Amino acid sequence: MATLTATTAQPNRWFQVGRGLLVLAALTAAAAGAGAIGEVAGAGPEALIAHTWRMYGLFLCAGLFAVLAWRPDTHATVWMLLIANKAALTVTALAYLATAAVPGAAETAAWDGGLTAVLVLAFVTTRRRVSA
């Protein structure tokens, strides 16, 4: 008589790499948000809202990256919104860098450009959850 055995599909290595990239993105965004608390505390009235908005955005991204790390093979709309947002920030920073001396443009282009690449790589690597 044949024996039936149940097997649980294991996530493949690339899926785990993508998930790891998302965990790293979440931790980095959370650390940046925590670092921005001091900027908010030290901001004058003319920049207080902008610094607060940025801090909340960093914490929001950290949370969304964590959601995607938890279930990277779902939430396609969240993926697209995050990738589009980071790509738009990168393109905008590059445009500011090319046309005027805007403080922070180079750093924004580098960080958000790198994050865009990480998100695209994580998206691609998490499309196929299990090994064939």
pLDDT at 127: 87
pLDDT in tens, 17-74: 999 999 999 999 999 999 999 999 999 999 999 999 999 999 999 999 999 999 998 8
pLDDT at 5 over 90: no
Domain limits of the chain?
Answer: 13-125
- When pLDDT is averaged across residues 90-116 and rounded to a whole number, the result is 94
Considering only CA atoms, which of 17, 9, 27, 8 is closest in space to residue 127? Answer: 17
Write down the pLDDT at residue 101: 87
Average pLDDT, the chain: 91
| 130 vs 98 pLDDT, higher one | 98
Nearest C-alpha neighbor of 39 from the set 64, 65, 58, 62? 58
Cα–Cα distance measured from residue 54 to residue 116, given in angstroms and rounded to the nearest whole number: 17
Confidence at residue 100, expressed as pLDDT on a 0 to 100 scale: 87
